[in-house]
Amino acid sequence: MKVEIKSAQEWSTFEKARQDCVVTSSLYAFLIGTRWVTPDWAVMVWEDEDMVSNVHIIERTVTVGGQRVHLGGIGNIATKVEWRKRGYTTEALKVAVNILHDPLKVDFGLMISTEQMISRYEETGWKLVAGPCRSSSRKGRKH
């Protein structure tokens, strides 16, 4: 297993296509039906020439309770179905969280999850925050 961390500007066409393949081949993509904005970073897990898992990170400044804060968002957590149950996602998430702490030094991390996955992510240290979550795109539409 090889784990790589790259900013979006560093991705080759091959790596971008492989990330899309991992997310598309994962049942996760079909359960959610939602696609995040273009990520700023990717944690890519490889077995030989095959990208088997990835986690995307977005970096944004957001307003929470009237204050602007530095946010690190985790999205597109995906492992190809045939490579699951081998610890790839857990390892990629650990690396992603380390990136949120340093070098990004975010004020907090955000991960949006399906109900079925909440306990799994809590096992890796994430905490459920009850309450509504609203966001706006650059065009101002609320989601």
pLDDT tens-digit series, residues 80-111 = 989 999 999 999 999 999 999 999 999 989 98
- 50 forms beta bridges with 47
Token duo for residue 28: 């996760």
pLDDT of res. 26: 63
pLDDT of res. 141: 46
Of 54, 94, 90, 61, nearest in space to 75 by CA: 54
How many Cα atoms occupy the beta-carbon half-sphere of 11 within 13 Å? 19
Low-confidence ranges of the chain (pLDDT < 70): 25-36, 134-143
Instruction: Please give the Cα distance from 44 to 60 (Å, whole number).
Output: 21
pLDDT of res. 33: 54
pTM above 0.85, yes or no: no
CATH no. for 2-123: 3.40.630.30
